[in-house]
A and B are shown apart, each in its own frame.
Chain A
Amino acid sequence: MVPAIDPVIGRYVRFEIDGVPHRVYFEEAGPEGGGGIPLVCLHTAGADSRQFRHLLADPAVTERYRVLAFDMPWHGKSTPPDGWERTEYRLTTASYTAAVRAFCQALEIDKPVVMGCSIGGRIVLDLAIEHAAEFRALIALEAADFQQPWYDTAWLHRPDVHGGEVCAALISGLIAPQSPAVSRHETLWMYMQGGPGVFKGDLYFYRVDGDLREKVKTIDTKVCPLYLLTGEYDFSCTAEDTLRTAAQIPGVEVQIMKELGHFPMSENPAKFREYILPVLERIAQLSPRA
């Protein structure tokens, strides 16, 4: 019998982020003969690159795109930096931007498309503001310039509440009721596996450091096309939040995705496909910029 192996390769790459050595896990899949438009995927807060496993295994995507998804430092199979035990993990705009750019440089990826979800979507907006010329196109899923908090993150990391279970239970409501039970629970499973305080540390970026109100107005979609897609059941980043953000950015393409929530690529891969394939098609038609 032929082994049933997923068409995805996982490896580790070593590079420095702001002078600190890191060993980062990533998965990739692309055209059989190599090449392809690089598409770098950024997972949500407190999760890891497994969220993109369906996209990585979708021939309609990988026949043209070299899809790469990496676990952020502290997440998934990317270990925290030496001495982590003496620090409180906190993601910031600067550290997140540095990590994404360092990953692309380490793998010598030229002008990738970057697609991020949730905090990944927020940093994509920041890349559009600060570094647009480095990218072929940017896709922000479940992203806005600002979102109203809906719980106290202190609950995410304390000894009398199980961190994995409370993280998953909190975010479970962000999944659309129509999403298949299997995909819902796989999405929750990943949340149950985050390191202590990591989800909370990611949300520092989201809630304290990453406020982009006013700044999004400076995005120039002529330098780099920007696509915003948000699920209608996402009450963390609501459709209104995304539409308000889009209204400030001339040339942006925005879509509200029906029957999807905050984790479109993992909570309902088949439904997400209906929305993301046309976007990837349009990006593939863009002529590569010098």
Chain B
Amino acid sequence: MSPAERFARLPDLLAADTDLRRRGGWLTADCRIDIGAEPFYLTLREGALADLARGPHLLRSVAFSISGTEEAWQRHWQPIPEPGWHDIFALTKRGAASMQGDLRPLLQNLQYFKDLLALPRRLAEAA
């Protein structure tokens, strides 16, 4: 499974994680996550994923976006990621990912987003 294909499974992964949805209960935001060249638009409502739109959507506005190379996500989602690939800020520090836009909703819900973006790790064994 390519990193983008793994990320496309996010709705099921989040639906199965009641604790993460509970922790995101105050979060409502639209954001974009780029898996390599492929953008995903997330519509988050009270911690749940109301919509996940894959591919380019022209003029679609989001609060913030996080972009990572294919390699960054692929290594981030290893069952036990290697040092330097194990956290979103490790990725940004090494230049393999970046964050743009209004980062306030991201920082207000930082652990939620870290855990959300790590969910595809759970697919590793099935891959």
Query: Is the beta-carbon distance between A166 and B107 smaller than 8 angstroms?
Result: yes
By a CB distance below 8 angstroms, the chain B residues around A235 are: 83-84, 87, 89-90, 93-94
Q: Does A174 make an interface contact (CB < 8 A)? A: yes
Chain B CB within 10 Å, residue with most, of A168, A172, A178:
A172
Q: Could you give, for residues 220-239 of chain A, a 1 whenever the CB lies within 8 Å of some chain B CB and a 0 otherwise?
A: 00000000000011010011
**A271, B37: Cα distance in complex, Å:** 40
By a CB distance below 8 angstroms, the chain B residues around A160 are: 104, 108
Q: Does A81 make an interface contact (CB < 8 A)? A: no
Query: Is the beta-carbon distance between A150 and B92 smaller than 8 angstroms?
Result: yes
Q: Does B111 make an interface contact (CB < 8 A)? A: yes
Q: Does B114 make an interface contact (CB < 8 A)? A: yes
Q: Does B88 make an interface contact (CB < 8 A)? A: yes
Q: In the complex, what's the smallest C-beta–C-beta distance from A172 to chain B, in angstroms?
A: 6
Interface size on A, residues (CB 8 A): 23
Of chain B, the residue at the smallest CB distance from A173 is B87
Chain A interface secondary structure, helix, strand, loop or mixed? loop
Q: Does B62 make an interface contact (CB < 8 A)? A: no
Q: Does A130 make an interface contact (CB < 8 A)? A: no
Query: Is the beta-carbon distance between A150 and B86 smaller than 8 angstroms?
Result: no
**A198, B87: Cα distance in complex, Å:** 24
Q: In the complex, what's the smallest C-beta–C-beta distance from B13 to chain A, in angstroms?
A: 18
By a CB distance below 8 angstroms, the chain A residues around B104 are: 160-161
Which of A155, A168, A177 is within 8 Å of B86, CB to CB?
A177
Q: Could you give, for residues 34-59 of chain B, a 1 whenever the CB lies within 8 Å of some chain A CB and a 0 otherwise?
A: 00000000000000000000000000
Q: In the complex, what's the smallest C-beta–C-beta distance from A66 to chain B, in angstroms?
A: 35
By a CB distance below 8 angstroms, the chain A residues around B80 are: 177-178
Closest 7 CB pairs of A and B: A173-B87, A169-B110, A169-B111, A235-B90, A150-B93, A232-B83, A233-B83
Listed by A's residue number, 15 A-B pairs whose Cβ atoms lie within 8 Å are A150-B93, A151-B89, A160-B104, A166-B108, A166-B110, A170-B89, A172-B87, A172-B114, A173-B89, A173-B90, A178-B80, A232-B83, A233-B83, A238-B84, A239-B83
